[in-house]
């Protein structure tokens, strides 16, 4: 009987210690918060983050708009296709994070509109091909089917690259250099009408990693 009581007491103490440990760990866990981008004062990292993409995108857009390369002589909007943007860094990043912000800003400028009908990898929006396969289908009303010759060819193509260089400054400090390179090409003659490079330079401890 005494053995059973002692066993129960040990289990009770073990359970109490487990619950206490759980509460301590829960109290020490870092709280998840939503970052206010306008007031974000967190120390930057050596890796690329959202602020770097925003800065690079806005720098490129401001350069392009001020260059006059997309000023249409008849105040119309040029059509731009997005070609391939190469990620030449040590990080797994989606280059569309940069291009999407560029596209949005150019669209809002009223000078450029982007096409989803063509890109370096083919049609960006597969629905463009799908709806055209419906021509002649008896399942869809003829007056709602897309006619031939309705797609618009792009005037310009946007391509680019994101590069990374790591430099050891001394035994304790490293420098990580990122270069956001974009080129706008006139697709009618193949001439590059605008180019821009936005460097982002970071320095930090050699113990930190940039990927």
87-134 pLDDT per residue, tens: 999 988 888 888 999 999 999 999 999 998 887 766 667 888 888 888
Q: What pTM, to 2 d.p., does this model score? A: 0.76
By percentage, how much of the chain surpasses pLDDT 70? 77
Q: What pLDDT score does 13 carry?
A: 63
Which residue bears the tokens 């002649």? 136
Position 135 pLDDT exceeds 90? no
Please report, for the chain, the start and end positions of each structural domain, with discontinuous segments joined by +: 70-115+153-211, 119-151
CA distance 85 to 121: 11
Output 27 or 58, whichever has higher pLDDT. Answer: 58
Q: What pLDDT score does 58 carry?
A: 95
CA distance from start to end of the chain: 61
41-92 pLDDT per residue, tens: 677 789 899 899 999 999 999 999 999 999 999 999 999 999 888 999 998 8
Q: Which fold has domain 70-115+153-211?
A: Rossmann fold (3.40.50)
Look up residue 110 and give its DSSP letter: T
């Amino acid at each position: 009987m005494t053995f059973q009581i002692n066993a129960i007491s040990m289990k009770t103490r073990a359970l109490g210690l487990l619950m206490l440990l759980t509460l301590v760990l829960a109290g020490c866990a870092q709280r998840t918060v939503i970052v206010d981008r306008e007031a974000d004062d967190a120390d930057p990292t050596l890796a690329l983050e959202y602020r770097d993409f925003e800065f690079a995108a806005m720098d490129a857009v401001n350069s392009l708009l001020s260059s006059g390369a997309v000023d249409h002589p008849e105040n119309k909007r040029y059509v731009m296709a997005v070609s391939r943007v190469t990620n030449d860094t040590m990080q797994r990043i989606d280059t569309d994070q940069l291009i999407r912000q560029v596209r949005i800003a150019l669209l809002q400028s009223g000078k450029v509109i982007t096409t989803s009908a063509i890109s370096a990898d083919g049609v960006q929006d597969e629905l463009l091909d799908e709806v055209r396969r419906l021509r002649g289908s008896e399942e869809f009303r003829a007056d709602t089917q897309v006619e031939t010759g309705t797609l618009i060819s792009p005037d310009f193509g946007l391509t680019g690259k994101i590069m990374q260089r790591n430099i050891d400054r001394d035994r304790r400090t490293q420098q990580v250099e990122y270069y956001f390179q974009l080129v706008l090409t006139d697709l009618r003659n193949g001439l590059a009408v605008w180019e821009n490079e936005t460097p982002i330079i970071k320095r930090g401890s050699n113990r930190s990693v940039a990927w």
